[in-house]
Chain A
């Protein structure tokens, strides 16, 4: 119950009123429309897709899918025309959905394996370089520059030609390509943290370098590094796809998205779905990794990685 009104009535905006003070009022307050904060729908959808595709890849054998290399009798069938082949078939009558799912196995295991390996090696290297500086830093610089200067695609092609292309060799090769990125982030963050007081304090108390690195520096460095991991994984999926596209990935009959796109290329005009189906899987996976990765990076905060 307000007392004597000493204030003139305030004006209202045309838009909806959201703010409404409750309780005793001495003056009616003007109202302003609030902007609603949007949820990150893209990241959510991305996470859902990733979950789906990972599960499908893991449990591919259990799923009610025809074998990916089972040659059928209906060639280049378009999607949604037959219940037995939801996403159509390729030139040899093989089920596209099944091949896409098994192809996910290849792409994801290579990408995830390479990311993890690159992350571990890169983080260790970066931390050592950032912590000890001087000689370690010079070595770091030379090694990363060598890894970066060596044209990655050529390196991968040569690697694949040198060793039998398999998931392991591809993962190892791609890991090498990913190491510089992780290493740089780890190093930059290590330098930033090694200067902080709590590290100096720990050292003054007699903590060994190993302990400092492991207990103080590592937890702080892991966060920004991990937030990059998803984005790097996305790039590695693309790299693996590129190799398969060139025919240098995991050899047939194991299906791979890149390989499917390559072979479908010839029939692009008549049967676009041969390219579009693997293309869609490819796109959705990379897109999801990027979106969720961006969300993770946004949560961790912007770090300088270059």
Chain B
């Protein structure tokens, strides 16, 4: 991408296999000790992102996707408890076993993050240039002049006009879209192998959203880095990701290559999400499709599947047992496509479950349904 090549400081990490995945998360549980109880924000998540691939993580507010990203980036609040048994591997290195020196140059350099709200994620009292050079010098040890030069290149690279002038400006002098570009420049300054973008466009205007997403895509392919795109908006991930993981109540309920997910979704929640996207082609006054029921309890949740209370396929088994992502469920035939449901969409078991519920007029969880309830 740029002329000056700056090598990140060598953190002394053991060498990696060339095709080690950029990120592997295994059985991650992050619980928070709050006044109201133990909040199980992330309750057993398994993920894998290979080098150079893009993973979209989709879920509603409270699904745990932000906590997940913070856990991976090691910036959780002090009240968070990462339960033993959780494992996070970045480029094959177990983050729990890093030395201080190794950790110092991992986050921010090998793996970086772009935040949701550009209005608040840049330090207001430091100039853009200062924030950029600070990160560069911390991770690469170059001198001030080289850092400034590289900072200017970075700004140009992310598409900010007049980059030299911007270096001396403060965040409040820039518009929201430009600030987000600066945030991206900051994250990519040390050429990370993995970028986590946590709702990078939610706080932006629609027109700017498109530009930012395109920018991210371009930068990613230029650098060959892996990316995790976190959002609640399925439309954002539709054309821009290789794989998608759908989260609900702190767990991944379905993970599949993007085309497969949209074409052959298995989990009822995924189907509900996809169906809830309003279509321009629909006639006016079409009722928006919603998911009935209330958001799940993440404080001391009851046993069983978290989505059972809102699922038209819910059977008694769903209230007693928790389906696991790597379990052997019907319809789990394609490698790379996993889901956690006993009665998935598009399988005989699932259709039977729905028929049974229809006959009784309600699901095993007590949700009343009729023919129109096929979400």
Contact = CB atoms under 8 A, between A and B. Distances in A.
A37 B36 CA distance: 11
Given A24-B303, A35-B33, A37-B35, A30 B321 contact: no
Contacts of A2: 320
Contacts of B29: 30
Contacts, number: 44
Interface size class of B (residues with CB under 8 A): 10 to 19
A27 B84 CA distance: 16
Interface in A1-49: 2-4, 6-7, 10-11, 13, 19, 21, 23-27, 30, 32, 34-35, 37
B322 interface: yes
B85 A10 contact: yes
Interface string B22-66: 000000010101010010000000000000000000000000000
A1 to B, nearest CB: 9
Contact of A6 (B35, B81, B84, B324): B324
A19 B38 contact: yes
Contacts of B85: 10-11, 30
B33 A21 contact: no
Nearest to B85: A11
Majority secondary structure of chain B interface residues (helix, strand, loop or mixed) = loop
B340 to A, nearest CB: 11
Contacts of B327: 6
B33 A27 contact: no
B304 interface: yes
B148 to A, nearest CB: 38
Contact of A26 (B33, B83, B84, B321): B321
A70 B304 CA distance: 80
Contacts of B324: 6-7
B328 to A, nearest CB: 10
A182 B68 CA distance: 46
Contacts of A13: 84
A65 to B, nearest CB: 46
B300 interface: yes
B314 to A, nearest CB: 15
A197 to B, nearest CB: 25
Contacts of A3: 317, 320-321
A124 to B, nearest CB: 37
A227 B63 CA distance: 39
Given A27-B322, A32-B38, A19 B300 contact: yes
B26 to A, nearest CB: 12
Contacts of B31: 32
B303 A34 contact: no
A10 B86 CA distance: 11
A24 B320 contact: yes
A30 B300 contact: no
A26 B323 CA distance: 10
A33 to B, nearest CB: 8
A26 B81 contact: no
Interface in A57-82: none
A19 B299 CA distance: 11
Tell which of A21, A25, A30 has the most Cβ of chain B within 10 Å: A30
B321 A32 contact: no
Q: Which one of B83, B85, B317 has the highest number of Cβ atoms from chain A below 10 Å of its Cβ?
A: B83
Nearest to A14: B84
A37 B300 CA distance: 19
A19 B327 CA distance: 27
A26 B304 contact: yes
A258 B85 CA distance: 63
Nearest to A34: B33
A37 B303 CA distance: 27
Nearest to B32: A32
Interface string B317-338: 1001110100100000000000
A11 B83 CA distance: 9
Interface in B217-262: none
A30 B83 contact: yes
Contacts of A10: 85
Contacts of B38: 19, 32, 34
Given A2-B320, A27-B303, A32 B84 contact: no
11 contacts: A2-B320, A4-B321, A6-B322, A19-B300, A21-B300, A24-B320, A25-B303, A27-B303, A30-B83, A30-B84, A32-B33
Given A11-B84, A26-B304, A35-B33, 4 more contacts: A2-B320, A10-B85, A23-B303, A30-B85
Interface of B: 29, 31, 33, 35, 38, 81, 83-85, 300, 303-304, 317, 320-322, 324, 327
Across chains A and B, which 7 residue pairs bring their CB atoms closest together, nearest first? A26-B321, A26-B303, A11-B84, A30-B83, A26-B322, A11-B85, A32-B81
